[in-house]
């Protein structure tokens, strides 16, 4: 498996992952009916870097890294990760997380903050905790889960040692 920067030629495969992940409506704030034309602003915008992990020409997962805020808050990174549901259980999320930590350090970020981790997404919460992210805040009923109704969301943070 190889992780590399995404290119325009990856958009179709990234869309395949993005659309599968958001269609359930249980882990991301994106509307499950988000059209493909919106992928560029959500996953390929000028102010972010997009990476993919591939094996034999097939993209298995992707992540973005960007400043969490503008100007005086741009020293903290924000990342989002997606793994093709058909590739779960292969350690892809771990590999993407490890890679993003290195990229964040290379880009002089001093920390990474996840602004909204759905509390019911136990796999993600546990993975981020394994990599040293801490829950630093909770937004009560911050997410409209399609099956569970209003559920809490977490703000998670990891300081990056220099």
Span 146-158, pLDDT tens digits: 999 999 999 999 9
How confident is the model at residue 162, as a pLDDT?
61
Q: pTM for this one?
A: 0.95
What's the CA gap between 28 and 14, in Å, rounded?
15
Q: What is the CATH number of domain 2-113?
A: 3.40.630.30
Which residues on adjacent β-strands are paired with residue 112?
77, 158
Span 60-107, pLDDT tens digits: 999 999 999 999 999 999 999 999 999 999 999 999 999 999 999 999
How many C-beta neighbours within 10 Å does residue 71 have?
Answer: 6
Query: Angle at which helices 122-130 and 92-106 pack, to 10 degrees?
Result: 50
What's the CA gap between 2 and 81, in Å, rounded?
16
Q: Delimit the domains of the chain by residue range.
A: 2-113
């Amino acid at each position: 498996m190889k992780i590399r920067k995404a290119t325009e030629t990856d958009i179709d495969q990234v869309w395949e992952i993005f659309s599968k992940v958001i269609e359930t409506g249980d882990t991301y704030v994106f509307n499950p009916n988000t059209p493909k034309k919106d992928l560029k602003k959500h996953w390929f915008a000028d102010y972010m870097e997009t990476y993919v992990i591939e094996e034999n020409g097939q993209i298995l997962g992707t992540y973005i890294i960007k400043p969490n805020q503008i100007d005086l808050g741009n020293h903290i990174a924000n990342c989002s990760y997606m793994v093709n549901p058909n590739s779960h259980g292969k350690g892809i999320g771990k590999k993407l997380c490890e890679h993003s930590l290195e990229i964040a350090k290379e880009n002089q970020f001093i920390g990474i903050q996840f602004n909204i981790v759905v509390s019911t997404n136990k796999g993600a919460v546990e993975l981020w905790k394994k990599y040293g992210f801490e829950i630093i805040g909770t937004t009560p009923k911050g997410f409209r889960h399609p099956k569970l109704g209003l559920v809490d969301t977490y703000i998670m943070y990891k300081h990056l040692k220099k």
